[in-house]
Amino acid sequence: MTDSAAADTVMDPVLAAITEAVEAGCAGDPGAARTQLAAIWERLGEDGDPFHRCTLAHYAADVQDDPHEELRWDERALAAAGEVTDERARAHHASLHIAGFYPSLHLNLADVHRRLGHDADARRHLELARERIDALADDGYGRMIRSAIERCGQRLERGDRSADS
C-alpha cells in the first residue's frame, strides 16, 4: 500500500475498520475478521456507501469457511460495484477506477462457483473476467489476476473442485 493509500484509509473510519478486520484474518483469526466485518456491514446497511460495501464484501468473502457464504459475499461485492462511480473510487485513491475491480470480482465468483460444482456459472464469470481484463494495468496485480483467471479456467476444465490453489 502506498503512503497516500494508507493515509486515505486512515482518514476514512469505515475503511480503517475494514482494514483492521482484514488484518485479523491475515493474522490467523478468520472468525474475528468475520465477526468484525459482519458488524461493519450491519452499520453500513444495504444502502450504505457502495464503495464501502464492495470493499467489505470482497474481503468478507475471503474469510468465510462455508463456500455458500463466500458466494453470498462475492455476489454482494459485485452488486455494490455496480453502484460505485469512478469519482467515488478516486476519492479513496486517485489511481482507482471501477472497471479495474471487475476482473477480480468475476474471478472470485468463478472460483467459488467452480468449487461448488456450478460449472455454467463458473464459465460465465470467467468469460466476464476475461472480457474486462484490459482494465488492469500490466503490473504485479494485473499479472496476478490474469494468471489466476487462467488457473481457475484450467481447474474448471479438469473438474477440480478443491479450494487450495
> What pLDDT, in 10s, does the model give residues 13-30?
999 999 999 999 999 999
pLDDT recorded at residue 11? 77
The answer on pLDDT for 6 being more than 80 is no
Q: Is the pLDDT of residue 140 over 50?
A: yes
pLDDT of residue 109: 98
Give the single-character DSSP code of 29. Answer: -
What cell does 64 get?
Answer: 468465510
Q: 158: Cβ–Cβ under 8 A, 6 or more apart, which residues?
A: none
**Residue 66 identity (one-letter amino acid):** D
Query: Distance between CA atoms of 37 and 26, rounded to whole angstroms?
Result: 13
Q: How far apart are CA 117 and CA 28, in angstroms?
A: 28
pLDDT above 90: residue 5: no
C-alpha cell at 34: 468475520
